[in-house]
């Protein structure tokens, strides 16, 4: 890791710290979705589809696929958060993805055939909140937006 003149490691920008925290929460939620006790009716955890009766925190309908998607999304976020541009991409891009997921869940309905992940009403409200929240964080925590400064590439 790069050090400053005095040999100290400089602090990460706020956007990276927030992206790391959000990504870590997604990984944690992905793991908790498999744990009996935290997930009620875990014996009825289906791979996919709206027939899964398992609920995380007795509220959010989950499946094996749903939990794996949380894990993968969180791990991608942990990787992207190592750079400022990647953190912004994870937060703003992830927020846009979650708004699309909210629309999908809203359009599919809790019992619809397109509800393969699955989503219930609590999931849909959470996805709406996550979408706007992550998008706002990704755009507002980046200090160089609109200043003509060069954004670093998240994939360098």
Q: What's the whole-model pTM score? A: 0.80
Contact between 3 and 52 under an 8 Å Cβ cutoff? The reply is no
151 token code pair: 């954004």
Work out the pLDDT band at 10, boundaries 50, 70, 90.
Answer: low
- Mean pLDDT of the region 40-60: 81
Reported as a single tens digit per residue, the pLDDT across 70-91 is 999 999 999 999 998 899 999 9
User: Around Cβ 83, how many Cβ atoms within 10 Å?
Assistant: 18
Whether the pLDDT of residue 126 is over 80: the answer is: yes
Q: What is the pLDDT of residue 9?
A: 63
User: What percent of the chain is predicted at pLDDT more than 90?
Assistant: 43
Q: What is the pLDDT of residue 143?
A: 61
């Amino acid at each position: 890791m790069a050090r400053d003149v005095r040999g100290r490691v400089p602090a990460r920008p706020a956007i990276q710290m927030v992206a790391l925290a959000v990504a870590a929460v997604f990984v944690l939620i992905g793991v908790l979705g498999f744990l009996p006790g935290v997930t009620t009716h875990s014996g009825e955890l289906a791979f996919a589809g709206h027939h899964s009766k398992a609920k995380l925190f007795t509220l959010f309908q989950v499946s094996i696929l749903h939990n794996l998607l949380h894990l993968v999304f969180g791990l991608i976020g942990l990787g992207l958060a190592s750079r400022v541009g990647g953190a912004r991409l994870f937060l703003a891009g992830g927020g846009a993805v979650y708004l699309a997921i909210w629309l999908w869940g809203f359009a599919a309905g809790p019992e619809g055939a397109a509800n393969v992940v699955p989503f219930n009403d609590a999931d849909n409200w959470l996805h709406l909140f996550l979408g706007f929240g992550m998008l706002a964080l990704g755009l507002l925590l980046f200090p160089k937006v609109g200043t003509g400064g060069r954004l670093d590439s998240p994939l360098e």
